[in-house]
Amino acid sequence: MFSIDVALKSLPLLLGASVWTIVYSLASVAIGFCIGTLMCAAGLSQSPALRGIAAFYVSFFRGVPLLVQLLLSYYCLPLIGINVPSSVAAVGTLALCTGAYIAEILRGGFLGIPAGLIEAARMVGLSRAQILTRIEVPMAVRFTLPSLVNETTMMVKASSLISVVGVLELTRLAQNIATSTFQPLEIYLTAGVIYFVINAAITFVGSLAERRFRAEKAA
């Protein structure tokens, strides 16, 4: 029978673990955004070599399951002499994976920027790096904000996979508590509600940012 007492007793512990879920997810998205921006710029460059590197990167990390990527990083890095904590390896893998998706999201945003605007920036003497950071990236983010928010929520859910490499976060702790209490339904349901609240908050913040961008554009 479902026990609400078990769910309530486990709630503080699960909420504490959810903080790490948020930290790992947001850190992965932030690093992934930087990687995705660079890969997007490489994919849109005039250099065939850079375009080839970007295409391979995106194809690999979008084509290989995230779970396999996590296991590869966890077991292969020590073999080549790279010994890092499992949490660092997990965040790095998540960042590389989400970077591939963000690169494709941003590519659509970059292609939507008017060519005349970029040409005008060149005429006033802005360098390629300045155009990228001051014009292209901000505009691409505005164009693709809903997709970026969706990718962030997907990464929060995908972060549950890092439990398989021993990283303590919400899903890992839920597994431990469920094993010790023999009440999996209550524990996993509580964890599911916490995931829902986290993603609902991210979606809400994204909606506020989108409304602000629309208001600025209208003004």
Question: pLDDT tens-digit profile of 166-219?
Answer: 899 999 999 999 999 889 999 999 999 999 999 999 999 999 988 887 777 665
pLDDT score, position 11: 93
Q: What average pLDDT does the chain have?
A: 91
Question: What is the C-alpha separation between 119 and 136, in angstroms, rounded?
Answer: 12
Kindly state the average pLDDT of the residues 113-131: 85
Is the whole-model pTM more than 0.85?
A: yes
Kindly state the average pLDDT of the residues 150-174: 94
* Helix 4-43 / helix 137-158 crossing angle, nearest 10 deg: 140
pLDDT score, position 219: 59
Kindly state the average pLDDT of the residues 53-72: 95
Contact between 170 and 21 (Cβ < 8 Å): yes
Q: What percent of the chain has pLDDT over 70?
A: 98
The two three-digit tokens of residue 36, written as one number: 């995705």
pLDDT score, position 1: 66
CA 43 and chain centroid, separation: 20
Architecture of domain 4-218: Orthogonal Bundle (1.10)
Nearest-5° angle of CA 139, CA 143, CA 147?
130
In this structure, the number of other CB atoms found within 10 A of the CB of residue 203 comes to 15
Report which residue type is found at 113.
Answer: I
Nearest to 112 by CA among 148, 133, 141, 134: 141
* Helix 137-158 / helix 86-111 crossing angle, nearest 10 deg: 140
Least confident of 56-65, 111-120, 191-200: 111-120
Contact between 96 and 69 (Cβ < 8 Å): yes
